[in-house]
Structure 1
Amino acid sequence: MFIAPMLLEKREEPFDDDRYVFEPKIDGHRLVISLSGGRLNMYTRHGNEVTRQYPELHDVPTRSDIVLDGEVACVNSVTGAIEFESVMERFKLAKEARITEAARTRPVHFFAFDVLSVAGRDVRNLPLTERKAILNESITNNPYFSRVLSVEGTGRSLFDVVQARRLEGIVAKRKDSAYVSRRSAAWLKVINYEYADVYIAGWRKEEFGWLAQDESGRGVGIVELAVPVAHRKAFYSVARALVTGEDRAFVYVEPRVKVRVRFRNWTSGGRLRTPEFVKFIV
């Protein structure tokens, strides 16, 4: 049974509040696991079934029918780091033999943070604290499943730990929140961004996006998020005099305009992951 997941709103700074529990934000992809009458189904946040992708998760450590919400991720066995690119590689595998081999050599881990139904009982209207208690009683930790750590009230100190370990961020959840299948201000995310200064080397023709490169001239991604309209206009008023050429997809300019961006992390290929504009550097 697929239940559309509860989604997070965004907050810029960590905070302390006794009305909330705080959790580390796991850098994987959302997964709803449904076990009913011996039948197991796994769904992404958009309702796409991915049960065959993760055979190592087929033995859910529970004694009853259950619907779990959580994040599936890949944990580096040597460093302990959570690797987003690795779980995306697992997600994209198509051939059965490759999936089976990857489950053995590059296993995923399911981090459970909520329970939506247990033993046929819908518990979504219960407060989060009661659902957490049910979750703790309903599943046991093992090499493929674990319950997400949560702390009460102290979001700032947890964020400090997240920064020190270079994790994705934290999630703040109202203790009294019911589970709703939509975005809700009762659940907030605070991202642990990295920052970099890059040069704009061109722009995309069909849809907005600035080509970014580092000081060596190497392309590092496309900046398309959080750029105000006024800043776009200011850039184009200057950049049109710097055009050096174009092709079907891009217009290229001399990389003289410098901007600061924030982003999730550097990819293994040396690219900015989801860069957002912060400001011009003058």
Structure 2
Amino acid sequence: MPTAFEFCLPTAAKTVPDGPDWLHEIKYDGYRVRIERQGRDVRLVTRNGHNWTGRFPWIVEAALKNREQQFVIDGEAVVLGVDGVSDFNALHSRKYDDEVQLYAFDILALGGEDLRQLPLTMRKANLARLLRGRPDGMFVAPFEMGEIGPDLFRAACDMGLEGIVSKRRDRRYVAGRSREWIKVKNRTHPAVSRVMDALEGRNS
């Protein structure tokens, strides 16, 4: 299995792509992580390269319960409220580390094979097969295809969600910032205020 992986990062935009070549996912408010399994060895790595394997035991347990011995999954670590919406404050508090789950939206390697060169739709199919049955601790991110993107974004805003991420369905997984992954945030969501506060803190 490949030994080096880097995250693909979405580019921020103000409008949602509405062409037929895009698929769209709800943006959950959590921590971006990558779960890597090689036999009985499991690592959970953050976007900044921190090893958080010991921090979220439910995700690690779910990875070890899978029959597949080798895989690398990209996703978001989240705490879900009773309404099914991610709760960043609960996640950030560290009081609910045992309840943190993985919202899985991509797979980079499986069974020793590097899948990053495959189109996104094929990677999604491999991810669905790997996590079929929705094992506790991990769940596959639902998505919608095509022109529905703007309507999905409006619905996400109406529900108080963070926004959506739109991705080219036919493209490979590339490291670094990509214009083939587009994120559009709900401007009224608390996550936007957190980002603005952080920027103001840097500039003060």
TM-score by length of 1: 0.64
1:116 matched to 2:108? yes
Which residue pairs with 1:62 in the alignment? Answer: 66
Task: Find the aligned partners of 1:4 and 1:19 in 2 and give their Cα distance.
Answer: 24
Q: Which of the residues 141, 149, 152 maps onto 1:155? A: 149
Which residue pairs with 1:249 in the alignment? Answer: none
CA contact (8 A) 1:124 1:179 kept: yes
Relative contact order, higher structure (CA 8 A, sep 6+): 2
Structure 1 stretches of 4+ with a deviation exceeding 6 A read none
Which residue pairs with 1:265 in the alignment? Answer: 190
CA contact (8 A) 2:102 2:137 kept: yes
CA contact (8 A) 1:2 1:34 kept: no
Q: Which of the residues 59, 62, 76 maps onto 1:71? A: 76
Q: Residue 34 of structure 1: CA displacement?
A: 0.3
CA contact (8 A) 2:79 2:88 kept: yes
2:54 aligned counterpart, secondary structure: helix
2:190 aligned counterpart, secondary structure: coil
Q: Which of the residues 151, 156, 160 maps onto 1:166? A: 160
Q: Residue 103 of structure 1: CA displacement?
A: 4.3
CA contact (8 A) 2:29 2:87 kept: yes
Q: Residue 14 of structure 1: CA displacement?
A: 2.2
Q: Residue 160 of structure 1: CA displacement?
A: 1.9
CA contact (8 A) 1:2 1:43 kept: no
Which residue pairs with 1:20 in the alignment? Answer: 22
Whose strand proportion is higher, 1 or 2? 1
Whose helix proportion is higher, 1 or 2? 2
CA contact (8 A) 2:42 2:60 kept: yes
- In structure 1, the gaps of 5 or more residues are 91-97, 195-263, 278-282
Which residue pairs with 1:274 in the alignment? Answer: 195
Which residue pairs with 1:184 in the alignment? Answer: 178
CA contact (8 A) 1:4 1:47 kept: no
Which residue pairs with 1:94 in the alignment? Answer: none
Q: Which has the larger radius of gyration?
A: 1
1:52 matched to 2:93? no
Q: Residue 167 of structure 1: CA displacement?
A: 0.5
Which residue pairs with 1:80 in the alignment? Answer: 84
- In structure 2, the gaps of 5 or more residues are 200-204
Which residue pairs with 1:244 in the alignment? Answer: none
Q: Structure 2: which amino acid aligns with 1:67?
A: V
Q: Residue 116 of structure 1: CA displacement?
A: 0.3
Which residue pairs with 1:34 in the alignment? Answer: 36
Identity %: 31
Which residue pairs with 1:143 in the alignment? Answer: 136
Q: Residue 187 of structure 1: CA displacement?
A: 0.4
Q: Structure 1: which amino acid aligns with 2:17?
A: F
Task: Find the aligned partners of 2:191 and 2:102 in 1 and give their Cα distance.
Answer: 24
Q: Residue 2 of structure 1: CA displacement?
A: 5.4
Task: Find the aligned partners of 1:265 and 1:128 in 2 and give their Cα distance.
Answer: 30
- Taking only aligned residues, the RMSD between alpha carbons, in angstroms, comes to 2.0
Task: Find the aligned partners of 1:20 and 1:36 in 2 and give their Cα distance.
Answer: 32
Q: Residue 165 of structure 1: CA displacement?
A: 0.9
2:195 aligned counterpart, secondary structure: coil
Task: Find the aligned partners of 2:14 and 2:155 in 1 and give their Cα distance.
Answer: 17
Q: Residue 152 of structure 1: CA displacement?
A: 0.4
Task: Find the aligned partners of 1:4 and 1:46 in 2 and give their Cα distance.
Answer: 10
CA contact (8 A) 1:4 1:46 kept: no
Task: Find the aligned partners of 1:103 and 1:6 in 2 and give their Cα distance.
Answer: 25
TM-score by length of 2: 0.87
1:98-154 superposed Cα distances (whole Å, 9 cap, x missing partner)? 7xxx445xx112100000000000000011011011111111313321000111011
1:10 matched to 2:4? no
Q: Paired residues, what number?
A: 191
1:226-249 superposed Cα distances (whole Å, 9 cap, x missing partner)? xxxxxxxxxxxxxxxxxxxxxxxx
Q: Residue 274 of structure 1: CA displacement?
A: 2.3
CA contact (8 A) 2:31 2:46 kept: yes
